[in-house]
Amino acid sequence: MKKVALHWQILIGILLAIVFGYFFPRATPYVGWMGTLFMRALKMIVVPLVFSSLISGVTRAGSGKSLGRLGFKTFLYYLSTSLLAILTGLFLVNLIQPGLALEGKVGSLPTMPDLPGKKLDDTLIEIVPENFFHSLTLNEAMLSVIFFALLTGIFITRLRTDQKNLLTDFFNAFFELMMKITLFIIRLAPFGIFGLVAVMVAEQEISRELFNSLGKYMLTVVAGLLFHLLITLPLILHFIGKVNPFAHYKAMAMPLITAFTTASSNATLPITIEAVEEKAGVSNKVSGFTLPMGATINMDGTALYELVVAGFVAQLYGHQLGFGEQFILVATALLASIGTAAVPMASLVTMSIIFTAVGLPFEAVALVLVVDRPLDMLRTATNVFSDTCGAVTIASSEGEELLVSRQVLTRS
Ligand code: ASP
């Protein structure tokens, strides 16, 4: 029998859960445990996954000769575009306020944890852990884990060759192992989501406001992603990369479609490399360096998405985010996107980092799970497109003559 793709299984799970929760609300405790277990499993994997993914990404970037300048440019590009995406998300979620209509009316929302509001300077100082092993055991110390992983990755590349190779291999293998476990957890998503959604529907008045709010929330994410895809990145291509954006879209048609349909930057990577080298004319030196690293750490779409979700959920709770909290949100969305694995639904794992940072209960994420797949497709396309823009912009700054560069196009 042909296997049904995971996203169809999830969709079927969601539909069944809606029917189940609506008609048998009293029976939901019997299925709710599946959702609880699923959420626990996601939380279980986040620390080792993010830790190993970052180390393996950074050591990959640092290996090879003369990558210093290229590495610096690549990081600068990745950080700036992700930050621009996040700021777009922040602006839109404040403007559209998708959660406002539902404020306080969502029956199944877990209670807000009674955390003292974190001050911005405390959060920044606590990024440097007093005791790293202690941070590993605390969910709210994820930023310290990320910080320590980045340091570890950077300094592994400075070790003696034999030591460097040993540790690089070790962390790569460890990362592969964590990925296998993550993919296993994600395969269980149809059951987990079934449990979560059934409980949510049972406790929830399915009201017009709910649909309105979810619709507005989707609109916010889609508008932000499209703005980034169609305005921010082309402007960077035009002004910094000296590339014709239209020619670049055309050249990147295959990776865009593949990313959209698979919702996985990793699965798209071979096609991305092929298109960037063959259709855009980037050298293997630049593409072989920027693209694999980009697939792992450069996720503009994911960063924007995670910020909007956190903003949306905060609005559902009527929780006004002050300036300090918004800043924390921006910083954590950036770091969480860097640590997100390049597979479908991976945002779900790292979302717990942002929720914990601003004191929102992670379980509230169940609400947005229902409409996650289409948004995952679009954010993955954005992630991949930004990687390709990075590759051509950096190649052009290195003086490479590209097939999509404005100069070459006007000449021909
Ligand atoms: N699916 C995304 C990717 O592979 C990651 C995520 O945001 O879930 O790029």
Position in ligand 1 atom list of the atom nearest CA 295: 9
Mutate to test the pocket of ligand 1, among 380, 384, 387, 388 (most ligand atoms within 8 A of CB): 380
Domain boundaries, the chain: 6-411
Amino acid present at 329? L
Helix axis angle, 29-62 to 68-96, nearest 10°: 150
pLDDT at 150: 83
Q: Dihedral sign for Cα 52, 56, 57, 58, please.
A: positive
Cα within 13 Å of Cα(95), Cβ side: 11
Rg (CA), the chain: 21
Mutate to test the pocket of ligand 1, among 186, 269, 343 (most ligand atoms within 8 A of CB): 343
Query: CA-based angle 9:13:17, to the nearest 5?
Result: 175
**178, 45 in Cβ contact below 8 A?**
yes
What separation in Å is there between the alpha carbon of 53 and the centre of ligand 1? 14
Please tell me if the CB atom of residue 379 comes closer than 6 angstroms to any atom of ligand 1.
yes
Please tell me if the CB atom of residue 345 comes closer than 6 angstroms to any atom of ligand 1.
yes
pLDDT at 112: 53
Q: What is the C-alpha separation between 407 and 242, in angstroms, rounded?
A: 8
The answer to whether the pTM exceeds 0.85 is: no
pLDDT at 211: 80
| H helix or E strand, kind and range, residue 8 | helix 6-23
Q: What is the C-alpha separation between 37 and 233, in angstroms, rounded?
A: 39
What separation in Å is there between the alpha carbon of 259 and the centre of ligand 1? 9
Mutate to test the pocket of ligand 1, among 46, 81, 340 (most ligand atoms within 8 A of CB): 340
**328, 120 in Cβ contact below 8 A?**
yes
Q: What is the C-alpha separation between 194 and 169, in angstroms, rounded?
A: 38
Q: List, in order, residues 6 or more apart from 184 with CB less than 8 Å away.
A: none
Q: Would you tell me how many other CB atoms lie within 10 Å of the CB of residue 121?
A: 9
Please tell me if the CB atom of residue 346 comes closer than 6 angstroms to any atom of ligand 1.
yes
Buried b (16+ CB within 10 A) or exposed e, 183-208: eebbeebbbbbbbbbbbbbbebeeee
Please tell me if the CB atom of residue 299 comes closer than 6 angstroms to any atom of ligand 1.
yes
pLDDT at 93: 95
**383, 229 in Cβ contact below 8 A?**
no
DSSP string, 233-253: HHHHHHHTS-B-HHHHHHHTH
What separation in Å is there between the alpha carbon of 26 and the centre of ligand 1? 35
Position in ligand 1 atom list of the atom nearest CA 347: 8
What tens digit of pLDDT does each residue of 306-325 get? Answer: 999 999 999 988 888 888 88
Residues of the chain with pLDDT under 70: 1-2, 61-67, 103-123, 139-140, 205-207, 411-412
Q: What is the C-alpha separation between 64 and 60, in angstroms, rounded?
A: 8
CATH 1.10.3470 fits 6-411, yes or no: no
